[in-house]
Amino acid sequence: MVIFIMNYMVVRRFFLKPINGILEARETETRSAEQLYEDALARFSEATAQTEAQLHAAKREAAQLRERFRGEAGAYRQQMVDKTSTEARQIVGEADERLSKDVAVAREQIVRESESLALLAAERILGRAV
């Protein structure tokens, strides 16, 4: 029995204690690695959430800016359409006035020329001055 106890003491001292120490060290390292992983994952999740929030805010701001520019462009377009329409009406009105004057002048000229042509035709038909 003494040999068994002595053998147990030797095995315990030179074999079990170092192996237990190694196992405890590995367990401590595993726990610390798990803790580091969880901390890193938490920081990553927080950073991801923050980045997504910033991205969402940037998209919202871009949409507002785009809508403002669309509104301004629409107003400018309507202003240009109104201005062009006004100018076109003015040009058409001036052309209508000129055309009316040209028609009146042409009618007067036709009346004058028709009288002189009628007189010339009468003179030729009659063979004498009328």
The predicted pLDDT at position 2 comes to 83
pTM for this entry: 0.49
pLDDT tens digit string along 53-82?
999 999 999 999 999 999 999 999 999 999
Q: What is the token pair recorded at 53?
A: 């929030």
Confidence tier at 124 by pLDDT (50, 70, 90) = confident
Q: How far apart are CA 48 and CA 101, in angstroms?
A: 78
Contact 65, 57 (CB under 8 A): no
Q: Domain coordinates of the chain in residue numbers?
A: 1-98
pLDDT at 83 over 90: yes
Q: Which residue bears the tokens 């999740």?
A: 45
